[in-house]
């Protein structure tokens, strides 16, 4: 653990003690993530390839035996929120507290003997930027309770419980990628995850060693229709699978794509969605084999293809995301694409170390010239998954 993360953990523990009058039983951290490739595949039983950010949600937690849950976030205005575990109910809470409370609910629903907790957290994961601040929050709570209650659950099991918390308790129909990334990623690696059976493989992804960098550009916009559009895309993919007689679009092989599109006849929108998902799964497999054969620079064009597919077939990009990608490529980037759900959020840019400063500047200038809000640009180093820090 670096000195700075230990200092953060100590500060969070101290604040816990001020709030609750006793020291926590431990401090845990769980990261946000960016997805390198594999977008909108996770609810189609397909492949994804996220890596963990250095940005984390850090939580100091203590057990309680009296059926009470108390929650506090350094990043929210409100004071300590208090719940009785027996009162926790799906979709009863529209506040941020639904994420941690949902995890407690999901653990208890699954039969785990959680009898209460006091929790204080602080997060450096930007919220609502497509970098999974919500999963970081869920996973840090799940891991803390897993340790404190000696539940013995593995990372992928915690991820499933966190997804259930978000789907059922919070009421957001998200896939399994974000929680698994936060729980299971490893430093210097991207996580090749099969979302059907949660089998996973750590793929070495150490850009600095090869003279490259990966920038995240948070556009700082979230277009208001994003949630409704996510639901429509999901429904369209399910319709495609039903029309093709498969459980999920994952089951349409890449070399059977033309035949599948033919079968969909004049279902123009469904055809586009199917084409994105099937080609995107194949792009993930291509990126895995390029990285495994040490041909890292060659993933650049695959990222660009992925962006074009999300823009033209899946139709979830927006002017801000397209501007990042176009500007970065025009300034010498090896590859760039939007990442996350779309309609705002973040894009990633793969570039030679020597080009990074010029690309960041060009993107900032292009945003200013277009009259867009200034983006937040930072470098993403593949970092550790969830862990205990104190």
Full 3-state SS string of 39-73: CCCHHHCCEECEEEEEEEEEEEEEECCCCEEEEEE
Longest CA pairwise span in the chain (Å): 66
Complex with Mg ion: residue 10 or 222, whichever CB lies closer: 222
Complex with ligand ADP: residue 41 or 296, whichever CB lies closer: 41
Would you say 234 and 43 are in contact if contact means Cβ atoms under 8 Å apart? Answer: yes
User: CA 353, CA 335: separation in Å to the nearest integer?
Assistant: 13
Q: Which 72-91 residues touch ligand ADP, going by CB under 6 A? A: 73, 75-76
Q: Which 114-143 residues touch Mg ion, going by CB under 5 A? A: 134
Question: Catalytic: 218?
Answer: no
Complex with ligand ADP: residue 175 or 382, whichever CB lies closer: 175
What tokens does 295 get? Answer: 């041909």
The answer to whether the annotation marks 166 as part of a ligand binding site is yes
Residue 334, judged by CB atoms within 10 A of its CB (0-12, 13-18, 19+), counts as buried
The answer to whether the annotation marks 41 as part of a ligand binding site is yes
Quote the least distance from Cβ 221 to Mg ion, whole Å.
16
Q: Which of the following is catalytic: 45, 93, 118, 178?
A: 178
Cα–Cα distance list, 348 to 70, 265, 304, 306, 322 (Å): 37, 35, 10, 12, 11
Q: Which 95-114 residues touch ligand ADP, going by CB under 6 A? A: 96, 99
Quote the least distance from Cβ 98 to ligand ADP, whole Å.
7
Q: Stretches 126-134, 184-192, 198-206, 229-237: which one binds ligand ADP (CB under 6 A)?
A: 126-134
Complex with ligand ADP: residue 30 or 325, whichever CB lies closer: 30
The answer to whether the annotation marks 133 as part of a ligand binding site is yes
The answer to whether the annotation marks 362 as part of a ligand binding site is no
What is the b/e burial string over 120-146, where b = at least 16 CB atoms within 10 angstroms of the residue's CB? bbbbbbbeebbbbbbbbbbbbbbbbbb
Q: Per rule CB under 6 A, is residue 35 in the interface with ligand ADP?
A: no
User: CA 6, CA 192: separation in Å to the nearest integer?
Assistant: 29
Q: Please count the residues of this chain forming the interface with ligand ADP, following the rule CB under 6 A.
A: 15
Query: Phi, psi at residue 147, to the nearest 5°?
Result: -75, -50
Site string for ligand ADP, 127-166 (x = CB under 6 A): xxxxxxxx--x-----------------------------
| Binding interface with ligand ADP (CB under 6 A) | 73, 75-76, 96, 99, 123, 127-134, 137
């Amino acid at each position: 653990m670096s000195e700075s993360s230990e200092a953060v953990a100590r500060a969070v523990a101290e604040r816990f003690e001020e709030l609750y009058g006793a020291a926590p039983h431990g401090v845990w951290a769980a990261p946000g993530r960016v997805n390198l490739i594999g977008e909108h595949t996770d609810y189609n039983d397909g492949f994804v390839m996220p890596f963990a950010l250095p940005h984390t949600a850090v939580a100091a937690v203590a057990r309680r035996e009296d059926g009470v849950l108390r929650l506090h976030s350094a990043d929210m205005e409100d004071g300590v929120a208090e719940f009785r575990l027996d009162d926790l109910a799906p979709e009863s809470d529209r506040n941020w507290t639904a994420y941690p409370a949902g995890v407690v609910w999901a653990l208890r629903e699954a039969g785990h003997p959680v009898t209460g907790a006091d929790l204080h957290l602080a997060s450096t994961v930007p919220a609502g930027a497509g970098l999974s601040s919500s999963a970081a929050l869920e996973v840090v709570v799940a891991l803390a309770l897993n340790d404190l209650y000696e539940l013995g659950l593995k990372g992928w099991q915690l991820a499933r419980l966190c997804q259930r918390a978000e789907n059922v308790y919070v009421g957001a129909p998200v896939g399994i990628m974000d929680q698994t990334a936060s729980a299971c990623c490893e430093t210097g690696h991207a996580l090749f995850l099969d979302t059907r059976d949660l089998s996973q493989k750590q793929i070495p992804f150490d850009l600095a060693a090869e003279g490259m960098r990966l920038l995240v550009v948070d556009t700082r916009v979230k277009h208001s229709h994003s949630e409704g559009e996510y639901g429509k895309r999901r429904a369209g993919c399910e319709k495609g699978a039903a029309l093709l007689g498969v459980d999920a679009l994952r089951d349409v092989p890449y070399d059977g794509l033309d035949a599948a599109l033919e079968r969909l006849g004049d279902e123009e929108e469904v055809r586009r969605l199917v084409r994105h998902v099937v080609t995107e799964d194949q792009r993930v497999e291509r990126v895995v084999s390029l990285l495994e054969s040490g041909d890292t620079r060659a993933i650049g064009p695959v990222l660009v293809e992925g962006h074009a597919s999300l823009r033209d077939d899946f139709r979830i990009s927006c002017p801000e995301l397209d501007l990042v990608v176009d500007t970065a490529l025009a300034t010498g980037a090896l590859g760039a694409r939007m990442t996350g759900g779309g309609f705002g959020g973040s894009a990633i840019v793969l570039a030679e170390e020597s080009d990074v400063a010029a690309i960041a500047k060009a993107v900032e200038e292009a945003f200013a010239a277009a009259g867009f809000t200034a983006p937040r640009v930072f470098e993403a180093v593949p970092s550790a998954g969830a862990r205990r820090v104190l």
